[in-house]
Amino acid sequence: MAFVEDYSFCFDTGATSHILPVKAEFVDLNSIAPRSIQGVNRITILAIGIGLVKVRCRKGRRNTLGDVLYVPHATLRLISIGRLGDKGYTMLFDAKCCHVMNSNKTLTQGTREEKSLYKLLGDTCTMEYANIT
């Protein structure tokens, strides 16, 4: 498996599917026949599963991504802008950040790093937590 050091999800306008390289981060995962995925450098890697991932965003918000492909050799966690659009979400980008919106309400945000990728600063959560005082 590829070593994935950055736990951020990157918003990708060119990705046709959400992609996650870490099996343990799925809350539900089903095996699929290996499916080829071609990157911008024309290298092909395989998706071998599909499932559900819960993403914990800033301010404790939790969002669920469905139909996420498990791609062990991917080097990034990707959120497909096209797939979000297919689900009815609206994305708004400017030079420094992006917003994922539903009915004019911002569900989550990402920030652009050094004139590069827009990243959702959050992580996956495979367990639910409760704070008890």
Show the domains of the chain with their CATH numbers. Answer: 9-124 (2.40.70)
Mean pLDDT for 64-77 is 93
- Given a cut of 60, whether residue 18 has pLDDT beyond it is yes
pLDDT at 120: 86
Q: Please give the single-letter amino acid code of residue 122.
A: G
User: How confident is the prediction for the chain on average, in pLDDT?
Assistant: 83
- What are the backbone angles phi and psi of residue 132, rounded to the nearest 5°? -120, 130
pLDDT at 60: 67
Confidence of residue 80 (pLDDT cuts 50, 70, 90): very high
* CA dist., res. 22 & res. 25, Å (int): 6
pLDDT at 93: 92
* CA dist., res. 43 & res. 38, Å (int): 6
Mean pLDDT for 15-42 is 92
pLDDT above 90 as % of the chain: 50
**0.75 exceeded by pTM:** yes
